[in-house]
Structure 1
Amino acid sequence: MLQLKSLGNQYIDGEWREGQSENILHNVNPYNKEVLLSYKMATEADVDAAYKASLRAQDEWAKVNPYKKRDILEKAVHYIDEHEEEITNIIMDELGGTRLKAAFEIGLVKNMIKEAATFPLRMEGKILPSIEDGKENRLYRLPIGVVGVISPFNFPFFLSMKSVAPALGAGNGVVLKPHEETPVTGGTLIAKIFEEAGIPKGLLNVIVTDIKEIGDSFVEHPIPRVISFTGSTKVGSYIGQLAMKHFKKPILELGGNSAFIVMDDADLDYAVNAATFSRFTHQGQICMSANRILVQKPVYEEFIAKYKEKAASLKVGDPRDPETIIGPVVNERQAENLQAMIDKGIEQGAKAVLLGNIEGNMVAPTILTDVTPDMDVAQEELFGPVICIIPFETEEEAIAIANDTKFGLSGALHTKNLERGVEMAKQIHTGMIHVNDITINDEPIVAFGGEKHSGIGRLNGEWSLEEFTTLKWISVNYGQRVFPY
């Protein structure tokens, strides 16, 4: 049986041990405030030990037969299958995720590992012709070496695994730093899974700490060649610049301000359901969540009425209750930020047709209507169960409003005229957009990533393989070259 208490230490060089700091990190259930685990935090010395262990183990991993690597990754999926109920309980207790959210996240994780399990057999090279007689050019696809992964608190199991599994599959070592709010689901649980699957000791390391403890050492350390960060745009910008300063490749999956567009010919009931899922899944704490709903004026009032009724029906409460749709946001600071955004939106002229109660970090749905594109609620990422609705008249206006943001991650567009939807989607500056679907989509073989302030790079499938490998050119001259002097 998978025991939560067994996941309450650092995982460094294949050993479960305490961090060297005297500072304690308390892992708290966001719903009932129970302390689940307490960690002695990792220090800079622990970070150094983790990276050195990963580098040593990566040499060993590189020599493992690709078919055996595949088998090890597939064993990780089997372990998750065998312990799915325990993992579900951990997600509910550590994240405040509902049972529905847990099932959704675990499904994403298993698909991601299954895709990564194909990577050892896809490390293909090429032999290319040469302009010189008697010479051939060989291109070898090789692991980067060691990858540093920094993951967020919202979908930590999946968003950690989204980099960890492909990096391992491509032959790399990994050091993972989960968010301090979710050290188990985003970190030590993953270490346990791969430990049980049989990866070499030291290949994957998990550092549980706070940035105040280790400063910039996780990014600045000389060993990692790639830093994969998922989180806020503000922090991502800093990490990206720091990585580049030290000649490391940053992969940045950052914030969003997704537009959900409803045309006047849309199936309104279906659009309401899709927009509800796109905003309120996991309390709206998803980078791809719909932040702005744009509704064409002929159906604006009808959409609002239906959407309000649907949102008001969502049960708010204990994430362990199977009927709960909206559990707690991650902490009270996030709830206070949402309250401030709601207040500012109303002050700037928005109308609260549904004003949810906020108590502690329990936030009920709020719907702001008559929002204009220049309002703060329309420009900033609302990381919670708060949504703004904006009216528009023409296709051109909808596209202009959708593009009026520094972000460009996801989006959705609802219309019965599918080709019109596709043509509109092409004009919206975002990495992903979905016609007659939700804004929250992530598939293991489809390129995932954002434009503008929503990130740099693409993950999943062949794009992850590209990000976590490098190409080495080795030429072979079978004869002798003629020199001009």
Structure 2
Amino acid sequence: MSAEYKFESQYIQGQWRSGASTTQLTNINPYTQETLLEISAADMRDVDEAYSSAHNAYKSWSKTTEEDRSALLQRVMAIIQVRREEIITWLIKEAGSTRLKANIEVDASLSLLAAAVDYPKRVKHETLPTSVDGQESSVYRQALGVIGVISPWNFPFHLSMRSVVPAIVLGNTVVLKPATDTPVTGGLIIAKIFEEAGVEIGVLNVVVGTGSEIGDYFVQHDIPKFISFTGSTRVGKRVGQLALSCRMIKRVALELGGNAPLVVLHDADLDKAVNIAALGRFLHQGQICMSTNRVIVDTRIHDVFVDKLIEKVKTLRYGDPDQSETLIGPTINQNQINHIQAHIQQGVKDGAKLILSGEIQRNVIPPHIFIDVAPESALAREESFGPVLPIIRARDEEHALFLANDTEFGLSSAVCTEDLDRGLKFALQIDAGMTHVNDITVEDQTIAPFGGEKNSGLGRFNDRWIIEEFTRTHWVTVQNTLKQYPI
């Protein structure tokens, strides 16, 4: 195995070098609070160079064969398998991932790579019927060009790879801006892996910088044809506005916030529903866009469900993310801790009953559960992005459906019932991009469309949906015989 990777620099034009900004970024372990490394941040000049590098590389990369691009991904997969523990270690110490979550994240990325190897073979031109004599009519799908990717800190490795991998294998080039909380797992380790795999110079560039210094410029730059953003709804709306107001309108994919409901109907298997609720909310301490943000329970089973849930959640281990039995690790940073604390305090102020709680230790927030939550309260309406679970009482199935849809978000959702036909009917009435019957709200598969409705975003990831996002449709006709015109 090669020596362990080192990270202190930007990756631009195939070179590792310091950013041009005077800002120094300190990368901190959220559990131990130790400094992992310091990075000289990128400024707008670095963004210019990264986009120029990607633009120049596109001219040759877009002309490479399907086999060459697929072979690159196969080499990337092999390197990840060899360096698996190194990547997992970084996810634990940089992103606060538990060992369970880190393994899930790496496995998801490997599945993504395995599926994407075949993407180039699926980009074929189609011959269309035509009523014009002597004409050949065809539709081609072609690479877009340069794609700008902005990724978040919660699943940094996978959510960066989810855009980077299909973009590159389809013939595009990429400039990646990872979150400043996770510059390594969200960007620099990916650059190292692709570099080791022999990627052509300029095909992938990584700039690590603050949103205040390069965020808007990254989106508004003339070169990228597409901006793929994963993050909060607030920032995502600004990204969309900037992309539409550019000199040349850009395509965007926005994977934003969620307020995923888990609906427990009166005929549900309560033991199953409790396990679904506990894992769906507290995996990765609730820092997942698809995380169960509220549970809506039929009043007929509400009290029994709550008793069983409390019993279950009290058994969940929280603390050191490097311990294999830990489910709930540290919150990413102090700002996020402050947000979650304010969310809890507001819940109490609004009259909800806090029936399970605990003291914060080393950025680890123990599970918090509320009952008697008003549907119009902040607890019910806002995304906590933390280990806080509000339970809302529904009068009946119709009321439960109303409560599930009574939100500005529409990413993921779930319903528990022993009547599968009833569950499917209920699922199809939820205004969301994804709904799961008798399963957790946290679900992502490489052959299924991933994305949301309403303020949860635009576009879809995975399989044919991401192929369509990262290529353009080009209609071409060829007139083989003389055509008669009316002039």
- TM bin, normalised by shorter chain, reads over 0.9
Question: Could you tell me which of 462, 465, 468 is aligned with 2:467?
Answer: 465
Residue in structure 2 matched with residue 67 of structure 1 by the alignment: 67
- Any conservation in 2 of the 1:431–1:451 contact (CA below 8 Å)? yes
Residue in structure 1 matched with residue 434 of structure 2 by the alignment: 432
Are 1:52 and 2:52 matched, yes or no? yes
Alignment length (residue pairs): 485
- The alignment partner of 1:176 has SS state of strand
- Any conservation in 2 of the 1:332–1:360 contact (CA below 8 Å)? no
- The alignment partner of 1:298 has SS state of coil
- The alignment partner of 1:148 has SS state of strand
CA distance in structure 2 between the partners assigned to 1:5 and 1:17 by the alignment:
15
Amino acid in the other structure paired with 2:403: I
Amino acid in the other structure paired with 1:349: G
CA 1:320/1:360 → structure 2, altered by over 3 Å: closer, same or farther? closer
- 5 Å-filtered alignment, 1:182-197, equals 182-197=182-197
Question: Could you tell me which of 266, 286, 289 is aligned with 1:287?
Answer: 289
CA distance in structure 1 between the partners assigned to 2:36 and 2:23 by the alignment:
17
CA 1:5/1:195 → structure 2, altered by over 3 Å: closer, same or farther? closer
Residue in structure 2 matched with residue 337 of structure 1 by the alignment: 339
Shift of residue 384, structure 1, vs aligned partner: 0.4
Unaligned runs of 5+ in 1: none
- Any conservation in 1 of the 2:32–2:362 contact (CA below 8 Å)? no
Shift of residue 138, structure 1, vs aligned partner: 2.0
CA distance in structure 1 between the partners assigned to 2:354 and 2:365 by the alignment:
15
- Any conservation in 2 of the 1:292–1:387 contact (CA below 8 Å)? yes
- 5 Å-filtered alignment, 1:271-282, equals 271-282=273-284
**Aligned-pair Cα RMSD in Å:** 1.1
CA 1:251/1:417 → structure 2, altered by over 3 Å: closer, same or farther? same
454-463 vs 52-61, which moves further = 52-61
Deviations 1:208-234 (A, max 9, x none): 110122241100111100000000000
Amino acid in the other structure paired with 1:91: L
Amino acid in the other structure paired with 1:332: Q
Shift of residue 130, structure 1, vs aligned partner: 2.3
Amino acid in the other structure paired with 2:100: L
Amino acid in the other structure paired with 2:469: E
Residue in structure 2 matched with residue 250 of structure 1 by the alignment: 252
TM-score (norm 2): 0.98
- Any conservation in 1 of the 2:318–2:327 contact (CA below 8 Å)? yes
Question: Where in structure 1 do 4 or more consecutive aligned residues deviate above 3 Å?
Answer: 1-5
CA distance in structure 1 between the partners assigned to 2:253 and 2:67 by the alignment:
28
Are 1:484 and 2:486 matched, yes or no? yes
Unaligned runs of 5+ in 2: none
Q: Percent identity?
A: 48
CA distance in structure 2 between the partners assigned to 1:14 and 1:112 by the alignment:
24
- 5 Å-filtered alignment, 1:206-245, equals 206-245=206-245
- 5 Å-filtered alignment, 1:154-169, equals 154-169=154-169
Are 1:270 and 2:272 matched, yes or no? yes
162-171 vs 122-131, which moves further = 122-131
- 5 Å-filtered alignment, 1:63-462, equals 63-246=63-246, 247-359=249-361, 361-462=363-464
- Any conservation in 2 of the 1:335–1:360 contact (CA below 8 Å)? no
TM-score (norm 1): 0.98
- The alignment partner of 2:191 has SS state of helix
Residue in structure 1 matched with residue 37 of structure 2 by the alignment: 37
CA distance in structure 2 between the partners assigned to 1:240 and 1:323 by the alignment:
40
368-377 vs 304-313, which moves further = 304-313
CA 1:214/1:414 → structure 2, altered by over 3 Å: closer, same or farther? same
CA distance in structure 2 between the partners assigned to 1:408 and 1:84 by the alignment:
34
Shift of residue 357, structure 1, vs aligned partner: 1.6
Amino acid in the other structure paired with 1:224: P
CA distance in structure 1 between the partners assigned to 2:450 and 2:429 by the alignment:
18
